[in-house]
């Protein structure tokens, strides 16, 4: 009889390579578009289906797989996920048992301290220490603090649970496994969407059921997400956008402007592609997530943009920060201030850097100005412009968002100013035909990406329904085809999702 090693050798399996694939590699985090995830997910689905009637065993299996998924993204720092889970589970239980309001406030403050404390330490320690050192005239040497992937997402998700319990909008769970399943559910764990407890918890112990509509819609979202991320976003990033942003002064203004347009498409395809895959994978597992992107560049105002872009974050900031600050209940001046403060903190959420703060402030001021303009013109909340007015609104909003992306993408202000200086002083439009010829593949993908973004919603629904109607073999062939396309176009190194850094 062969032992396991001999059997693996007979099957020509390299144990060292297999070990390297299965353990954490800081240079190659596991993402949905990686080969290792596709193989592991295939094995995961097999066991998931075998456990479909054993709810508790299935929840345990998915939770363990989710922790392994997070381990493959951040190594030993998966213990942070456990700390947040256990602490907020018991805090919510204690909060529900509290008989007086001050006790409830004490427990929700404890949840805020734990979640925001972890977030501040790992994400903002160096930034804050450097800021205070500059204020006092001292010097500061940055500490070597690892930023765990997705910490901003799972802390905000867990906070939404404890805050909702505090507000008595939901009742706390009584089973730690259920809560661990909710917080760690791998499709949305490391880059969102931020899933609310009130939406997800009722689905946890329902009998597993995946309708033909859910399965087809899931395949459609996975295929479209893979195409957006691994074909459009990665290709235009590596072959054009990175070159422009890394050395803006080496390129003319028209090249810099095209680089900004390219980044606007890149970040949308990257992040919405991840969200699509997350929502699609969840559907295959029998769970529903809310939409996270709704064609944001079709927006005719900055307010509409934030109703369409990263909806799970913008709605989180609205419900738990903007409304808590007073929202629009304390006068117009206070409303404008609340909008700016909310977006300031939203910018800081994206990263410990002044460029993110400035980006958030730009959006906050724009939101306040738009609210003021709505009041002056007497337009009602939610009222949409039509015709030529909407067209110009979309053009202006898109270019304002692109202007803000310059500061979001560049790590320092000097690079952003260099890029703007090139655009406004050395535009050289005569280079445009030469640019198109030299980068025709990039511009073809950019044209395709923007075309798919701006097509009517009915086209997407029609495509989704067409995939739903395909037989199983047709769905499988479609998935294989997109994976093959990704393999043909991918670079030598895996390109992490942009929002992994947040």
27 noted as active-site residue: no
Half-sphere exposure in the Cβ direction for 455 (13 Å, CA):
11
Average pLDDT rounded to a whole number, residues 437-444: 91
- What pLDDT was estimated at residue 9? 59
Assess whether pLDDT exceeds 70 at residue 343.
yes
CA angle 488, 438, 397 (to 5 degrees): 90
What number is the average pLDDT over the span 145-150? Answer: 82
Nearest to 343 by CA among 369, 322, 320: 322
Model pLDDT for residues 182-218, shown as the tens digit of each residue:
999 999 887 778 899 999 999 999 988 888 999 999 9
pLDDT above 80: residue 31: no
Residue 1: its pLDDT value, please?
47
Report the pLDDT value the prediction gives residue 481, as an integer from 0 to 100. Answer: 86
Q: pLDDT tens for residues 273-292?
A: 989 999 999 999 999 999 99
CA distance to 215, 277, 279, 438, 472, per residue, from 469 (Å): 10, 20, 19, 41, 9
pLDDT beyond 70 at 2: no
Q: Tell me the pLDDT tens digit for each residue of 82-100.
A: 999 999 999 999 998 888 8
Residue 159: pLDDT band with limits 50, 70, 90? very high
Q: Quick check: 10 pLDDT over 80?
A: no
Interval 348-398: pLDDT, tens: 888 888 899 999 999 999 999 999 888 887 777 766 777 888 899 999 999
Q: Is the pLDDT of residue 21 over 80?
A: no
CA atoms within 13 A on the CB side of 448: 15
**What is the per-residue pLDDT for 181?**
95
pLDDT class of 252 with cuts at 50, 70, 90: very high
Phi-psi category of residue 195: left, alpha or beta, with phi > 0 → left and psi -120 to 50 → alpha: beta
Please give the structure tokens belonging to residue 235. 């290709």
- Are 225 and 277 in contact by the 8 Å Cβ rule? The answer is yes
Active-site position among 310, 350, 363, 453: 350
Select from 60, 108, 288, 302 the least CA-distant residue to 193: 288
* Pair 254, 435: CB distance under 8 Å: yes
H helix runs in 351-386, sequence order? 354-377
Q: Are 309 and 193 in contact (CB under 8 A)?
A: no
Give the max Cα distance, the chain.
Answer: 85
């Amino acid at each position: 009889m062969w032992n396991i090693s001999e059997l693996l050798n007979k099957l020509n399996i390299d144990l060292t390579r297999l070990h390297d694939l299965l353990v954490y590699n800081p240079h190659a985090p596991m993402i949905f578009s990686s080969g290792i995830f596709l193989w592991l997910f295939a094995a995961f689905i097999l066991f998931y289906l075998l456990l479909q009637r054993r709810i508790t065993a299935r929840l345990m299996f998915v939770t363990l797989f989710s922790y392994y998924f997070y381990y493959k993204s951040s190594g030993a720092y998966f213990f942070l996920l456990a700390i947040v889970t256990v602490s907020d589970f018991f805090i919510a239980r204690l909060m529900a048992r509290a008989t007086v309001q001050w006790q409830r406030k004490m427990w929700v403050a404890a949840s805020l301290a734990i979640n925001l404390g972890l977030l501040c330490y790992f994400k903002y320690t160096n930034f804050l220490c450097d800021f205070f050192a500059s204020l006092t005239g001292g010097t500061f040497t940055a500490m070597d603090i690892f930023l765990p992937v997705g910490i901003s997402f799972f802390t905000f998700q867990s906070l939404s649970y404890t805050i909702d319990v505090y507000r008595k909008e939901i009742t706390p769970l009584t089973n730690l496994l259920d809560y661990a399943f909710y917080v760690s559910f791998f499709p949305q764990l490391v880059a969102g969407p931020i899933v609310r407890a009130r939406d997800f918890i009722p689905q946890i112990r329902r009998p597993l059921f995946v309708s033909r509509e859910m399965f087809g819609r899931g395949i459609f979202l996975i295929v479209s997400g893979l195409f957006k991320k691994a074909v459009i976003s990665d290709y235009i990033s590596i072959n054009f956008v990175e070159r422009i942003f890394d050395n803006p002064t080496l390129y003319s203004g028209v090249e810099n402007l095209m680089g900004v347009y390219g980044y606007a498409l890149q970040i949308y395809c990257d992040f919405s592609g991840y969200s699509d895959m997350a929502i699609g994978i969840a559907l295959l597992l029998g769970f529903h997530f809310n939409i996270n992107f709704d064609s944001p560049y079709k927006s005719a105002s900055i307010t509409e943009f934030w109703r369409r872009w990263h909806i799970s974050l913008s709605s989180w900031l609205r419900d738990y920060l903007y409304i808590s600050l007073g929202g629009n209940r304390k006068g117009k001046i206070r409303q404008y201030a609340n909008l700016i403060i909310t977006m300031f903190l939203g910018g800081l959420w994206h990263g410990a850097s002044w460029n993110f703060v400035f980006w958030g402030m730009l959006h906050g001021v724009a939101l306040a100005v738009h609210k003021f303009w709505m009041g002056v013109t007497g337009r009602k909340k939610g009222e949409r412009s039509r015709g030529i007015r909407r067209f110009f609104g979309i053009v202006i909003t898109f270019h304002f968002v692109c202007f803000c992306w310059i500061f979001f993408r560049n790590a320092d202000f000097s690079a952003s100013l260099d890029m703007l200086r090139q655009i406004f002083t050395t535009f050289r439009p005569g280079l445009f035909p030469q640019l198109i010829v030299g980068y025709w593949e990039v511009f073809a993908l950019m044209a395709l990406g923007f075309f798919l973004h701006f097509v009517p919603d009915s086209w997407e629904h029609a495509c989704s329904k067409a995939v739903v109607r395909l037989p199983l073999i047709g769905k499988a062939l479609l998935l294989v085809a997109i994976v093959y396309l990704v393999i043909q176009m991918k670079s030598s190194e895996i390109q992490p999702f942009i929002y992994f850094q947040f």
